[in-house]
Structure 1
Amino acid sequence: MPPLAIADLLNPAQATALMTPTGSNTPKLLLAGSRPFKIENNVRINQRTHISILYHHKGDEVIEYPEMTLNSDTSVGYLLHMARTDKLFNPVCNIAYSAGKPSGQSKGHKYSVMLGRDGKPVPCLVDYSTCQGARICPFVSDDIKITSHTEGSRVALQLQLDQRNAGRAYFTAEEEILNKTIAWFRFIMDNGCGYTLQEAMEYNEQERAIRDHIQLTPTKAKQGQKTKKTCQGRIIIREQSYICCEHYGSFSCKHFVLYPARRGGYNFEYLCALIVNDEPVISKIELQAHQQGYGLLMSCTTVCNISSVKVNCGHSSKADMLMTEMVWLPCSSRFTVVRPEDGYWEECPKILLICHSPHTHPIPLPTTTPVQIKAEIKALIRSLEHELADMTPQRFCRHPAVINQVKELCPAVEEPTVAHLHPSLANLDHIASYIHNEVKAALPHGTGWDGTKLDWL
């Protein structure tokens, strides 16, 4: 698929220059033009590498979903023609796929498309990496597991999501109540009573196996950080009216307790049946939900990028009703980036991206912010220098200067937000990391009184 220009990402309806600099720190926005200005077929760039199709693009264009080949015998290439004053970057940082190991680097290579001013090939540095695939729920349907593609796009992604939700009933209040009940049960099972650890508990073999499995979940979710030990009491039902830790009482009221009738929004009958494993009641409620097109009897459709921090899927196994850990769906697609070695950039300001082999997983969501858009966001953050000390992602998104800038970038949208620049910016953690880096660079001694004194001395 032809790549997207940054202006097309910001404003798909128009292909014009969208923005003028608002300050000395804000670079000029890249001009539109997502179509390759030249296409070559059957190009042999060296003795070992044959490119079936080579797209020539301007250096300001974003390759989000690069085209792949059906096998490793041929490749698809994207040659970015940069300006000598442009900053060198890795185009793999812009793609929606997560690249990683097996990876490596070598130097001293020469290619027929990487020519210097004298028309001779210049020494090049070659970086190669492999698509890391995706993570899926173990209970997804087989057609999702065996999905593969060689071309991706925003349109193809939308079609994929629509097909995944085909035949799905509209979201109803009954479904919300059922989902909320299941979520509460999982929370109770995974976390138990959160009060301070007191006396040791004795469990039978089945209970011990379940608790050992559960205790691994928060550790994985925290990327290996150990969680503090809390009360190990069993969660029980009392008087058929409330759920609590077995240590809860009039003299220990800080232990876990839940009064569903007071809080509302739960199917108490279903929640109690799950806790005591009343199979007839569980089957009756879940069969009714399945007939309406939702519930645990439906096949799962959860697929996430490998870069996601999500550990578990919301779908549960009917055997134990525990949180289901996502599994890895591998991929062997290869990305190779060729760039001039140090000292040859001015002679040959080009970057070559070579792709081959199909992706053996669904089309991923565009969760990676392109380098060019990231630079625009950082420049905009720096322009708010007097308000940088206490800047937050929410304040940044609501700031009048940011709103005006986004409106200039996206004139076709009636009320644009920062997320209209790129879908990944809907994740405020991305913006928070950019703000943190800029604050650290502008105020290296911190934002407190001591930091202020050091900065002014």
Structure 2
Amino acid sequence: MAEYSAGQLEALSNIKTILENAGLSSVDLDISQGRSAHASDIVESGGTSSPSPQTVLQYIPPRATVYNESQIGIRLNQINRKSYASALANHPEGSVVEYPETGQLGGEAVAHRFKINPREFVHPKVNIQYALGDEHGGRTGVKCHLISDPPAPVLCTKTTYKCKGTKQCEFAAIQDDNTSHSFVEGTPSKSFSTQHQSNDTSWSAAQEVFYKTLALFTTLQHYGCAFEADPLDSSGDLDDLSDDEDSVGSQETGPCHGELLMRKDKYGRAIIECQHRRKGHKAHLRLGNLGEYDLTYLSALFNNDKLIIDELECKAQSAGYGPRIPCTISVPATCKRQNCSEWHRLPSGWLDRGKLQRDTKCNTVFEFYTPDNLDEHPYVLVVCRNPHTHAPPAPVKTPPFYLGVFKKLLISLDWKLADATPRRILLDSGFMLGLRAHLGWGATRDPMLSDLHPSLANLDHIRRIIHDLREQIFPAGTGMAGAENLCEEHSKLPLEERYVRIAEQIHIGGFVEESIRIVVCMSPPMSHYLMAAKRVSIDTSFKRVHGWEEFEIEVWHNASNRSLVVCRAFVTSQSAEAHFKLFKRIFSIAEADTGIAVRFRHIHGEGFDSWIADAHKGQALGLGMFCQWLCRDETTVCSDEPPRQLQDLTQYEHLARFYRLCITHFKRKIRELRSSITPEVQVAMLSLSSAEVHPDLQGAFATIRAGGKKANAWLDDKLTGSKFAFPAIYQPVSKIPIEVWRASPATTNGNEQAHRGINRDGVNLTLLAGIMRGMQYDARAIKSIVSFAEVGIHSRDQTSTHFYRTSRAVGRQGSSFSSEP
């Protein structure tokens, strides 16, 4: 062996470091000074310091270095007292090896020595994609020589596992030697990109039509009619049916099991329908428009015409497709699927999906040697014997390192994890920035999670990971229990930081008993703006939080010329009683925050002048009930109707003194009736919304009454069904002073604008995510007003002055008229 100078040794050491950082093997660089060859000649492929994420992601396991005769002669390849390795691969700390190289021949063993961090120990076994199990065992106190360098016996625990192979369809081709392997080249993504590349987009027209036809038949064969069965569709005589109630009640309906038949309709077109479909019994399957299918093949399948079936399927087989070709479906042995996804022609002649069967012929054995003292010997040896007799399994398992990176990125989402989905996380700029940093990504397109690890190409797999992590981060869940937990946490915060104020379930008695859930969200600044308001609008959104209605109270902030949500609540009922409970809780919070009691102009002579809403009956009556509750002990005489006392007013009479209906909703409901009413009736309906005395009110009523059934129903609803409605659109019959009426906004556009704004942050959310996104939205709105007050900066270049809002309204009105028929 050559002798090297100190300078030469330093140069070789530098070269070694460069090669290792590039993921290349440096086993041929012998930098020993006059030593005999031993295990250190097979140089470790990494440094001693903890690797960066990019280093691990870029690491490509090298081929194991075969021991030469001189090394074997002095037993440098000795694993333990009885076994020896033919080659050794060294892997740096943190390296992820999913397909460790095995011996190429029966009996050959390849050893893999992994440098590990004793303080953050991750066993190399958990990274392996092969399914390990079947025959296995463990022993303690085993001496392993390849743990240390130079070789020396180290006390270890030895565990042994056998490769469980893969699961293949029973119609798979007989395996040949080409499916066996001992080494997977490169990274999993690079290896499998070559293995699974095919021209799947270039199917011939004949192949596409063949598979569409086969899929239709097998679907119908598998599911049948699937409509609800009719008791009269039995094969017995109709006269045998009993009139006894118990007999009739015991008739099982369930899905229809009628035979599906392929027939011709009266125009000679092919149709498929259930045998029970007939006049008076049309709730059974019927399929037409079969022109996209091969009717010859489809008819042969329905009629079991074996000659035609054999002819067409053998023709397809010769072209390399169809149910008679060998199946190529292969899944990991740990997969729970029992059946192949493809349909095959059985020897009996029937079509069925093949059974996935374990390939038990693989003789590859994995031996793991873990030192008893990892601090002294921070290595784990993995010995892989015998080649695999099957193709490499797909990398469906996410190794802990990549899973840890993914979970770290998910945790960085903070509260956004509550409604995270595979799509939403990739649209989150913070998540994407973190993913780019971890990958060292410089390409123009954003990286996908599959660029982190191929297993993350499966969206359902990603969804399960998100779900499991979400349960850990939010142990109370993201529904009502999660909201209650968040409410409890907010109650411990300083008052100015509180947002979720009430989260409770309330039992409501009465004519219809119900249990409702209420979550009230409002910060102290929102309470102050609410109690200072004169004119209020309310509305409910039904699509932002799944399974909940979102109720908003909105006011207009004159100084900054913008609408402001001053209360956001989530409820599960739209009843009047539910809204009554809701209003009580909202104003109890506002009073506690501000020290100001709730006040209405018609009750207290100051406070709220007007409220505007759509025609929702539950909201209106709930608000009227709240006013009744406020006046329960009030003996003051009504200023507009003496000598009546305020405590004597009904909920409708309270509403008549401050409640208005949104003119936009009012007109929209009339437009929806245009197909059922005449233009004259439509004009009469619109004329009822007025701040002035109608010149011929009874004449308008008569015109509407003569407009047909729907027009009458509309008028009845305004006069008697929703008794608050007519005074809320026609000022002369209300108790609202004309100046208050005119000062009130005519629409709930502020609420609609708030709904649109926050819906851009996401819809169909979980309750917890809806609360958190609402908190951020409301905080931004409050901050905008504060910024204007402090430094005079508006949230938009064009401020929403009276002129601007009026010009926009007139413009929309013009567009509306231009679209009228």
Q: Into which bin does the TM-score normalised by the smaller protein fall? A: 0.7 to 0.9
Structure 1 residues 33, 260: closer, same or farther in 2, change over 3 A? same
Whether 1:49 aligns to 2:83 is yes
- Of 113, 128, 133, the residue aligned with 2:165 is 133
Shift of 1:375: 0.8
Q: Matched residue of 1:419: which SS?
A: helix
Any idea what SS the aligned residue of 1:142 has? coil
- Per the alignment, residue 443 of structure 1 pairs with 474
Q: Give the Cα separation in 2 of the matches to 1:100 and 1:313.
A: 26
Aligned residue number for residue 337 of structure 1: 368
Mapped pair 1:397 → 2:426: yes
Of the candidates 136, 150, 161, which is equivalent to residue 182 of structure 2?
150
| Residue 401 of structure 2, aligned match among 351, 366, 372 | 372
Give the corresponding residue for 1:246.
275
Contact kept, 8 Å, 2:85 with 2:109, in 1: the verdict is: yes
| CA displacement, residues 45-98 of structure 1 (integer Å, 9 cap, x when unaligned) | 21022111111110221212211114553311111112343x222323222322
Q: Cα distance, 1:389 vs. partner?
A: 0.8
* Among 100, 111, 115, the residue aligned to 1:81: 115
1:305 to 332, 340, 345: 332
* In structure 1, distance between residues paired with 2:133 and 2:215: 34
Q: Deviations over 1:363-409 (max 9, x none)?
A: 22222222211110011111111201111122123322233333341
Aligned to 1:244, what secondary structure does the other structure show?
A: strand
Query: 2:357 maps to which residue?
Result: 327
Seen in structure 2, the aligned counterparts of structure 1 residues 293 and 101 have a Cα distance that, compared at 3 Å, is closer
| Pairwise CA distance, 1:233 | 2.3
Q: 1:297 to 1:371 in 2, by over 3 A?
A: same
Q: Is the 8 A contact 1:66 1:151 kept in 2?
A: yes
Q: Is the Cα–Cα contact under 8 Å of residues 66 and 88 in structure 2 kept in the other structure? A: yes
Distance 2:279 2:444 in 1: 57
**Structure 2 CA distance, aligned partners of 1:62 and 1:396?**
25
- Structure 1 residues 135 and 201, CA gap change in structure 2 (3 angstroms): farther
Amino acid at match of 1:175: Q
**What residue in structure 2 maps to residue 431 of structure 1?**
462
> How much has 1:349 moved relative to structure 2?
1.8
Q: Is the 8 A contact 2:162 2:365 kept in 1?
A: yes
Q: Which residue of 1 aligns with 2:128?
A: 95
Matched with 1:353 is 382
In 1, distance between residues paired with 2:208 and 2:64?
A: 52
CA change 1:110–1:180 in 2 (3 A) is same
- Match in the other structure for 1:283: 310
Distance verdict in 2 for CA 1:393–1:435, change over 3 Å: same
Pick aligned residue for 1:178 from 210, 221, 235: 210
Aligned partners of 1:160, 1:390: CA distance in 2, in Å? 37
The residue that corresponds to 1:219 in the other structure is none
Instruction: State the alpha-carbon separation in 2 of the partners of residues 440 and 196 from structure 1.
Output: 38
> Contact conserved, 1:419 with 1:425, CA < 8 A, in 2?
yes
Match of 2:344 in 1: 316
**Bigger Cα Rg:** 2
Q: For the Cα contact (< 8 Å) 2:160–2:368, is it kept in 1? A: yes
Question: Is contact 1:403–1:417 with CA below 8 Å preserved after alignment?
Answer: no
Give the distance between the partners of 2:143 and 2:286, measured in 1 at CA: 69
The structure in which a higher percent of residues are helix is 2
1:373 counterpart SS class: helix
Matched with 1:107 is: 140
Q: Distance in 2 between matches of 1:403 and 1:388?
A: 14
SS at structure 1 position matched to 2:183: coil
Q: Cα distance 1:260–1:142, how it changes in 2: closer, same or farther (>3 A)?
A: farther
Offset from partner CA, 1:208-236 (integer Å, 9 cap, x none): xxxxxxxxxxxxxxxxxxxx974332222
Q: Deviations over 1:185-217 (max 9, x none)?
A: 112222223234666989xxxxxxxxxxxxxxx
Cα gap change, 1:184/1:91 in structure 2, threshold over 3 Å: closer, same or farther?
farther
8 Å Cα contact 2:413/2:431 also seen in 1: no
Amino acid at match of 2:84: H
1-structure distance, mates of 2:263, 2:292: 20
Give the stretch that moved more between structures: 118-127 or 429-438: 118-127
d(CA) in 2 for partners of 1:6, 1:136: 40
Q: Given the superposition, is the C-alpha separation of residues 129 and 38 from structure 1 closer, same or farther in structure 2, using an over 3 Å criterion?
A: closer
Change (3 A) 1:39 1:323: closer
Instruction: Give the conservation status (yes or no) of the 8 Å contact 1:55–1:78.
Output: yes
Query: 8 Å contact 1:80–1:350 — kept in the other structure?
Result: yes
User: Structure 1: how far apart are the matches of 2:59 and 2:451?
Assistant: 19
Matched, 1:411 2:445: no
Q: CA 1:300–1:73 in 2, change beyond 3 Å: closer, same or farther?
A: closer
Partner Cα distance (1:81, 1:176) in 2: 52
**Higher RCO (C-alpha under 8 Å, 6+ residues apart):** 1
Q: Which residue of 2 aligns with 1:272?
A: 299
Kindly state the Cα deviation for residue 169 of structure 1 after the two structures are TM-superposed. 10
- Is 1:236 the counterpart of 2:261? The answer is yes
Quick one: structure 1 residues 248 and 92, their matched pair in 2 at CA, closer, same or farther if it must change by over 3 Å?
farther
Question: Per the alignment, in what secondary structure is the counterpart of residue 48 of structure 1?
Answer: coil
AA aligned opposite 2:217: F
How many residues align? The count is 404
Q: Given residue 322 of structure 1, which amino acid in structure 2 is its aligned partner?
A: D
8 Å CA contact 2:144–2:152 kept in 1: the answer is no
1:172: Cα distance to partner?
Answer: 2.4
TM-score (norm 1): 0.77
Deviation at 1:433, TM superposition (A): 1.8
* Partner-residue secondary structure (3-state), 1:354: strand
CA contact (8 A) 1:201 1:233 kept: no
Structure 1 counterpart of 2:783: none
Q: Determine the structure 1 residue equivalent to 2:223.
A: 191
Matched, 1:58 2:85: no
TM-score normalized with structure 2 length? 0.45
**Cα 1:181–1:333 shift into 2, 3 Å:** same
* Per-residue deviation, residues 402-432 of structure 1 (Å, max 9, x unmatched): 3333334153644231112221111012211
Q: Secondary structure at the match of 1:444?
A: coil
CA–CA distance in structure 2, aligned partners of residues 449 and 188 of structure 1: 42
SS of equivalent residue, structure 1 residue 312: strand
Describe the SS at the equivalent of 1:323: strand
8 A Cα contact 1:137 1:313, kept in partner: no
In structure 2, how many angstroms separate the alpha carbons of the residues matched to 1:275 and 1:406? Answer: 53
| 65-74 or 285-294: bigger deviation | 285-294
Partner SS for 1:359: coil
Change (3 A) 1:312 1:298: closer
Is residue 245–residue 256 contact of structure 1 (8 Å, CA) maintained in 2?
yes
Amino acid at match of 2:344: S
1:77–1:352 contact (8 Å) kept in structure 2: yes
Instruction: Give the deviation of 1:134 after TM superposition.
Output: 1.5
Equivalent in the alignment of 1:12: none
Question: Where do 1:194-213 residues align within 5 Å?
Answer: 194-196=226-228
In structure 2, C-alpha distance between the alignment counterparts of 1:6 and 1:414, rounded to whole Å: 26
* Cα distance in structure 2, aligned partners of 1:182 and 1:308: 26
Unaligned ranges ≥5, structure 2: 1-19, 24-45, 236-252, 490-821
- Secondary structure at the aligned position of 1:45 is classed as coil
